[in-house]
Amino acid sequence: MKGVVILGSTGSVGASTLDVIARHRDALRVVALTARSNDARLFEQCLEHRPDVAVLVDWLAAGRLAEQLQAAGLATRVLRGEAALDEVVRLPETDVVMAAIVGAAGLLPTFAAARAGKRLLLANKEALVMSGSLLIEAVRASGAQLIPIDSEHNAIFQCLPAAAVAGQRPPGLRRILLTASGGPFLGTPAEQLCAVTPEQACAHPNWVMGRKISVDSATLMNKGLELIEACWLFGVTPDDIEVVVHPQSVVHSMVEYLAGSVLAQLGNPDMRTPISHALSWPERWESGVEPLDIVGQGRLTFEAPDLERFPCLGLAQRAARAGGTMPTILNAANETAVQSFLDGHLNFTSIPTVIEGVLNCAAAAPVPNLDTILAVDRAARQAAANLIARLDGAAPDSVAGALG
Ligand code: NDP
Ligand code: MG
């Protein structure tokens, strides 16, 4: 019996994880479920999955949850505040931690899991983007197992030799072909992108995901973050990775070896496949995902990304090559700009403008420790917020001028 903690259980990845766990109650037990403030959803999840502990970061929401659980007669303990996330991760009965909090908020509990030597199922790509060298070092030092959940990275992991080590380039590898769906605006003309709404940006053609990653998919920043993620996970450089747009989202990525073999992992676009793979690895368990109808699918197509319409991918490549604190700065500027877009204060096409403005003012510095990362993250968010304040209300065609 393995004990599982889900960081971010009320989100999209969290819910898919619970769906897989419910199919394997003989082998998996929920130790703790955690969320920020969604007490209603967490209460439902507690009723169904009976965790030992439920954590809400928001104190008022935690109070409501405790009352509801008591009234329902459940023994689940409620903890509150950020420190409780680290606490449940470190419990001796926790074997596996699903890191599925969105954004930089997931950084510290993800580190807690890595340092405690747990099996770390990493969906929270922002943690690796912000502090890849430190996280890989923490995993190595504690002997933790790091298994990627991001569908592309899980696909790559599945195509690597069994002896592959996190952070080390596998022998014989020539390059990685990182597939991208292209998002909801793949065919949208450049002049229409300025006016797209958050609802349109979040309507992904193939995947149902949280709002932040949905916007990242629409700008192609998601692929840029994934490129940086892949560099850390597999010990490669940005030049070892080719991004390929594959609108059907059936091939989840490919690994090319020196001998010319290209190995791919295919399947329906459903996060329960990588989640089930990581929970059961090195075994392979049933996940509830429909079998792939490859004949019905008919055609699989591949094309190069359009960096002019989607400049975020190029900005991420630039940050990846610069290294040091640059990816942290990129991530902070992106999170700030995306939230502002979702809140209706920024145009879709101003997201890369803000990120570029922040990168242009920054220089890459070494990454000695987490405190440096957190300070750089704060400063970059402030810089992005300042730029957004100058852009708010500016006409789209005067945006570049507003930043100059
Ligand atoms: P969601 O927005 O659906 O869920 C986010 C989860 O994180 C919720 O449980 C939320 O709680 C919790 N959360 C948010 N902020 C905080 C905070 N400050 N402190 C503690 N908990 C917090 O996100 P997704 O599930 O879509 O994505 C999660 C991560 O997985 C992201 O890093 C994303 O990039 C990655 N990922 C997601 C994929 C997908 O298919 N969705 C695919 C590949 C990677 P609450 O509900 O209370 O706000
Ligand atoms: Mg992905």
User: Residues 202-231: what's their mean pLDDT?
Assistant: 96
Question: What's the confidence (pLDDT) of residue 313?
Answer: 98
Question: What's the confidence (pLDDT) of residue 402?
Answer: 46
Ligand 1 binding pocket includes 129 (Cβ within 6 Å): no
Ion ligand 2: residues, Cβ under 5 Å: 150-152
Ligand 1 binding pocket includes 396 (Cβ within 6 Å): no
How much of the chain, in percent, has pLDDT values that exceed 70? 97
Half-sphere exposure of 263 (CA within 13 A, CB side): 14
pLDDT digits (tens, 9 = 90+) for 349-379: 999 999 999 999 999 999 999 999 999 999 9
Q: How high is the mean pLDDT of the chain? A: 96
The rounded radius of gyration (Å) of the Cα atoms in the chain is 21
Please name which ligand lies nearest the alpha carbon of 124. 1
Please name which ligand lies nearest the alpha carbon of 84. 1
pLDDT digits (tens, 9 = 90+) for 17-61: 999 999 999 999 999 999 999 999 999 999 999 999 999 999 999
* C-beta of residue 28 within 8 angstroms of C-beta of residue 121: no
Give the predicted TM-score (pTM) of the model: 0.96
* C-beta of residue 341 within 8 angstroms of C-beta of residue 378: no
Atom 23 of ligand 1, nearest CA residue:
210
Please name which ligand lies nearest the alpha carbon of 269. 1
pLDDT digits (tens, 9 = 90+) for 49-95: 999 999 999 999 999 999 999 999 999 999 999 999 999 999 999 99
* C-beta of residue 38 within 8 angstroms of C-beta of residue 9: no
pLDDT band at 207 (very low <50, low <70, confident <90, very high): confident
Question: What's the confidence (pLDDT) of residue 393?
Answer: 60
Question: What is the Cα–Cα distance from 111 to 121, expressed in whole angstroms?
Answer: 12
Amino acid occupying residue 358: V
From residue 375, how far is each of 111, 283, 328 by CA, in Å? 17, 41, 10
Question: What's the confidence (pLDDT) of residue 395?
Answer: 54
CA angle at 242 for the pair 238 and 247, rounded to the nearest 5°: 135
- SS3 for 297? helix
Ligand 1 binding pocket includes 168 (Cβ within 6 Å): no
pLDDT band at 391 (very low <50, low <70, confident <90, very high): confident
Question: What is the Cα–Cα distance from 298 to 320, expressed in whole angstroms?
Answer: 36
Question: What is the Cα–Cα distance from 295 to 113, expressed in whole angstroms?
Answer: 42
User: Residues 192-207: what's their mean pLDDT?
Assistant: 95
Question: What is the Cα–Cα distance from 270 to 117, expressed in whole angstroms?
Answer: 28
Atom 30 of ligand 1, nearest CA residue:
123
